A and B are shown apart, each in its own frame.
Chain A
């Protein structure tokens, strides 16, 4: 039976669980960073991304409901995170819709769930199921460590080209700039919750499994955006293909 890992070793294992599965290396992300996408492609991205991140406060609400009263810091973190998504300033999904409108699509198209592809629907369903059914530390590991903590690395790569290569304004792209910084802190606090409350070998292993699964879900979601909306215009992942294939092999799906 696996022994309880020290906090340092557990953190290293969590970080390792994401490696090779980072969505920043998926074909859509690479094409984005390389300046190869059009505003139409970004519009399709926004129409999908809304349905993944739009319910994030809902996911956190389910985790909150599963968190015991004594875990006050975890509950506070979840509430704070929900508040920032929805109320602290401009609603985060409104910032996403602002970007989507700059890409030529509409609020109605973005919020219409019929416009997401099947893989996005799968990612959204996985997030809901994980939040509802897993121990709160495991769900936090999956959604905050596995998914949310990746955001700064992804957007730090994708935000500069939006301004420099694609010609968007700072106003249009505030969604990205905001998440580069806010998700640094969300991710770090998420790590702390997981390190403190996943306090048995079984919980630690479950966290690692779910972090791996979450990272794979996000990678697959990002790759599917390329396959569904970009490949017909630019061809199968071209210059991005090497990295893409390498990562798929590491996932066992290549």
Chain B
């Protein structure tokens, strides 16, 4: 029976032969303390360094490739985007945050913020904000 070892928290989870399982789902279900936030491959909070068993992980998906970039080549994967089909061991920094500042300090990413501004603010409000920004 294959095992996922979450080394940083000391958690080990077996799963049935022949299955492939989402790494973050397994971590959440078994309280393995992998940090995460969006679970959609956007923020990168759930990145882990694969210590052993990289060959037993699914190929990187589009969002994971875009989010991790060079980190992928260094052996990192996003738990939310990755399925395991055999033994694997991973570790992470328990205090790690998102990869992008917008996920750490701001409630909304830029594109969403723009959409909300268009929806909620009148043109004159928006123009006023733009003028203020220009003055700064």
What is the interface of chain A, defined by CB distance below 8 A to chain B? 84, 87-90, 152, 170, 174, 177-178, 181-182, 184-189, 191-192
B residues less than 8 Å from A177 (CB atoms)? 61-63
Q: How far is the CA of A186 from the CA of B81 in the complex (A)?
A: 13
User: Which of A181, A184, A192 neighbours the largest number of chain B CB atoms within 10 Å of its CB?
Assistant: A181
B64 closest partner in A (C-beta): A181
Q: How far is the CA of A90 from the CA of B109 in the complex (A)?
A: 11
Q: How far is the CA of A174 from the CA of B62 in the complex (A)?
A: 9
B28 touches A185 (CB 8 A): yes
B116 closest partner in A (C-beta): A87
Interface check B1, CB cutoff 8 A: no
Interface residue from B40, B109, B116 paired with A181 (Cβ < 8 Å): B40
Interface check B112, CB cutoff 8 A: yes
Interface check B41, CB cutoff 8 A: yes
B residues less than 8 Å from A191 (CB atoms)? 29
Measured as residues with beta carbon below 8 angstroms from the partner, the interface class of chain B is 20 to 34
A181 touches B108 (CB 8 A): no
Interface check B76, CB cutoff 8 A: no
Chain A: minimal CB distance from B104 (Å): 14
B residues less than 8 Å from A152 (CB atoms)? 22
B80 touches A185 (CB 8 A): yes
Interface check B88, CB cutoff 8 A: no
A181 touches B42 (CB 8 A): no
User: 19 more A-B contacts (CB under 8 A) besides A89-B111, A182-B41?
Assistant: A84-B39, A87-B108, A87-B109, A87-B115, A88-B42, A89-B42, A177-B61, A177-B62, A178-B40, A178-B41, A178-B63, A181-B22, A182-B80, A185-B25, A185-B36, A188-B25, A188-B29, A191-B29, A192-B29
Interface check B4, CB cutoff 8 A: no
B22 touches A88 (CB 8 A): no
Chain B: minimal CB distance from A80 (Å): 8
Chain A: minimal CB distance from B84 (Å): 12
B80 touches A181 (CB 8 A): yes
B residues less than 8 Å from A89 (CB atoms)? 40, 42, 109, 111-112
Interface residue from B24, B80, B81, B109 paired with A88 (Cβ < 8 Å): B109
